[in-house]
Structure 1
Amino acid sequence: MTMPACAATSGSCHYGPAPQLVLETGNTHAPVVEIWRCTACGHGVTRPEMADVSPLYAGRESEDFLARDAGWVEALKNFVVRRLARGLLAFANPAPRVIADFGTGNGMLARALAAEAGADATIHALDFFDEPPAPMDNVRYMGFAEAARTLSGKVDLLTCFHVLEHDDDSDAMLQRLLAYLRPGGTLVVEVPNVDCVWNGWFGKACANWYAPFHRVHFTRRSLRALFERHDLTILREEDICGPTFALSLAALLGVAPNSLLFAVAAGLRPAQWIAEKVTRRPSALRIIARKS
């Protein structure tokens, strides 16, 4: 078993004699996986490893692409993401001219960044596929291979939301992200929190596990240590109250995510926010850093 660097020691993570969880995924590429956690820093990994995770996303069939959103659900998410985009743009100083959303999924964040950044900025949406997921007004969509050739060292602001956890080698993945940034460029990463308070409530159904797609499971400590290993200047760390409930309820009930479950989750949102604040065990972690 490959051991990532431990956030608590000077060596590699150390795992106990048995995994924390064994999950049946129903996915043909990884039907059964194990979640192992370091006994020192708590950082988690999904095993067996996958040399190439791209088959998991063939056809944009996973929930990562949010293809089911429609009507009032889509409208509400667009409103929230527009607010998010305004906040992210404020971290890049001076105002970014070249912006990229890595692992754009359905392109919602990229479109919001384009709407908020103004005419002087160029927005790029990057993902596995050569074709965009939907019409991308005012956004330049490109696959990862093309993006690596054309955007290397040019990006002022790079966003990467719920993507870093989808690769077995976090250090290599972060290096890949940093290659896009110019010196002084800003990187914003958000990942699920393995210490989320809801892991205990929902158990194996908790959306934070999301096996086999989530390959690593960050703690606050292990995420910070990753960024520090790559000599990034950390500007801010944030606890994020993410959309855990709807996806977790769907997994618990054995149904596809739908607008009814989203409505239930929205109604429970105040209670979710309070619980995460009181326990300091948020559903997601966000870190904003600057490249030297």
Structure 2
Amino acid sequence: MALPDRCPLCSAGRESQSVVTRHVYGDASVSRAFFHCAACDVRYQFPGLTPEEEARFYAAEFEGFMASRSGESGGWLKTEQHLVANEPTRMRRMKYLAPYLKQSVDILEVGCSSGFMLYPLAAAGHRCTGIEPSGVFSEFVRGRGIPVYQSVAELQRDVPDARFDLILHFFVLEHIADPGAFLMAQLAMLKPGGRIVFEIPNAADPLYSVYDIPAFERFYWSVAHPWYFSEPSLQFLLTRLGESSEVLRDQRYDLSNHMIWARDGRPGGMGRFAPELGADVEESYKQSLIRSGKCDTLVGIIKKDGGT
């Protein structure tokens, strides 16, 4: 197994690096592992995908890979089904976006997939643009009247003066080889006073950090993710950008999902026991995880200085 000489985020030396797991879901080569840096608390894949492997994966393989993880209910191979499957996710995210939608604004979503976040925003009068490298989704979104580009670089080439009030990406940053450069490129397209709002997995996911379920450990650490950020490591990354920022906690998956993981060692239990448990129990469980910091999701908000 290859060993990293230093942390790719903070450059701490080999003495600060340790193996998290050699179980990298989707790595047919069995040549990779995930490491933890004790200096900045980030988890990272080493060695990572080459640029050629990454381009091939996202252009042709990503939807099938996600379908293998989420099952048919996730809708990764059927665009209309993807819209329906993600409506609860869209509603959950709106609490983060609502403060920045009080008037008509220019919105860019990086990694818009089926466009499920953008259609209601466009219908409300906001001017929406998408970035989506996927061949499955990009034509679908374009066909529904929202301009879509394959990459940020393509957008900047075709519309060099494009500027946005709000830039969104959800579970994208952990897929990016250079997350600092990725965010800096977005800051360059952000209007003064504008925000970047994003979600990522939390490395302190309770199925791993609290319950330590072996089947989840083999499922969680994905070849598609160069990074898994914790609160400290995400704060470290955002502080280096030189702009105002904050990190919030959230919990996507419910008690029913966790019970199925504990009982059956597999995903797919979302809402399974909700009628018996009741909404109050499910919400109390989520809030307890959020308070403890052992929740599954982190939300980053970056404000570009120069506006209100």
Query: Quick check: TM above 0.5?
Result: yes
Smaller-chain TM-score range? 0.7 to 0.9
Q: Which of 271, 295, 308 is residue 282 of structure 1 equivalent to?
A: 295
Contact 2:24 2:34 in 1 (8 A): no
Q: Which of 121, 126, 131 is residue 131 of structure 2 equivalent to?
A: 126
Contact 1:165 1:216 in 2 (8 A): yes
Extract unaligned runs of 5+ from structure 1: none
Q: Which residue of 2 aligns with 1:45?
A: 44
Partner Cα separation in structure 1 for residue 163 and residue 231 of structure 2: 29
Extract unaligned runs of 5+ from structure 2: 68-73
Contact 1:241 1:272 in 2 (8 A): no
Classify the secondary structure of the residue corresponding to 2:247.
strand
CA 1:77 to 1:129, structure 2 compared with 1: closer, same or farther past 3 Å?
closer
Q: Which of 89, 100, 109 is residue 101 of structure 1 equivalent to?
A: 109
Code of the residue aligned with 2:235 in structure 1: it is R
Q: Which residue of 2 aligns with 1:219?
A: 230
Is residue 2:100 matched to residue 1:112? no
What is the CA-CA distance between 1:285 and the residue it aligns to? 0.6
Once the two structures are superposed, the pairs formed by residues 213-292 of structure 1 within 5 Å of their partners are 213-234=224-245, 236-243=246-253, 261-264=269-272, 269-270=282-283, 272-292=285-305
What is the CA-CA distance between 1:185 and the residue it aligns to? 1.9
Name the count of aligned residue pairs.
Answer: 279
CA 1:275 to 1:198, structure 2 compared with 1: closer, same or farther past 3 Å?
farther
Once the two structures are superposed, the pairs formed by residues 20-59 of structure 1 within 5 Å of their partners are 20-28=20-28, 31-52=30-51, 53-59=54-60
Q: In terms of mean alpha carbon deviation, does 189-198 or 62-71 score higher?
A: 62-71
Code of the residue aligned with 1:264 in structure 2: it is R
Contact 1:86 1:113 in 2 (8 A): no
Classify the secondary structure of the residue corresponding to 1:19.
strand
Partner Cα separation in structure 1 for residue 59 and residue 114 of structure 2: 14
What is the CA-CA distance between 1:44 and the residue it aligns to? 0.8
Partner Cα separation in structure 2 for residue 77 and residue 168 of structure 1: 26
CA 1:50 to 1:27, structure 2 compared with 1: closer, same or farther past 3 Å?
closer
What is the CA-CA distance between 1:62 and the residue it aligns to? 2.8
Contact 1:100 1:158 in 2 (8 A): yes
Partner Cα separation in structure 1 for residue 15 and residue 274 of structure 2: 37
What is the CA-CA distance between 1:217 and the residue it aligns to? 1.1
Partner Cα separation in structure 1 for residue 116 and residue 264 of structure 2: 27
Is residue 2:212 matched to residue 1:199? no
Code of the residue aligned with 2:8 in structure 1: it is P
Query: 1:78-137: per-residue Cα shift (whole Å, max 9, x none)?
Result: 144145336404236x7352101101123212223323xx22x21011111466263563
Partner Cα separation in structure 1 for residue 295 and residue 206 of structure 2: 7
What is the CA-CA distance between 1:22 and the residue it aligns to? 0.6
Contact 1:193 1:283 in 2 (8 A): yes
Q: Which is richer in helix?
A: 2
Identity within the alignment, %? 19
Query: 1:230-254: per-residue Cα shift (whole Å, max 9, x none)?
Result: 11112x4311112387599689968
What is the CA-CA distance between 1:39 and the residue it aligns to? 1.6
Classify the secondary structure of the residue corresponding to 1:3.
coil
Classify the secondary structure of the residue corresponding to 1:105.
coil
Query: 1:145-195: per-residue Cα shift (whole Å, max 9, x none)?
Result: 432324555111000111111123221222233233233321012111112
Query: 1:12-63: per-residue Cα shift (whole Å, max 9, x none)?
Result: 36555641111143444x5442110112332111111223222222333231
State TM-score, norm by structure 1. 0.78
Q: In terms of mean alpha carbon deviation, does 32-41 or 99-108 score higher?
A: 32-41
Partner Cα separation in structure 1 for residue 258 and residue 154 of structure 2: 32
Classify the secondary structure of the residue corresponding to 1:185.
strand
CA 1:114 to 1:62, structure 2 compared with 1: closer, same or farther past 3 Å?
farther
Code of the residue aligned with 2:253 in structure 1: it is P
Partner Cα separation in structure 1 for residue 82 and residue 111 of structure 2: 21
Q: Which residue of 2 aligns with 1:63?
A: 66
CA 1:85 to 1:242, structure 2 compared with 1: closer, same or farther past 3 Å?
same
Contact 1:102 1:159 in 2 (8 A): yes
Q: In terms of mean alpha carbon deviation, does 200-209 or 281-290 score higher?
A: 200-209
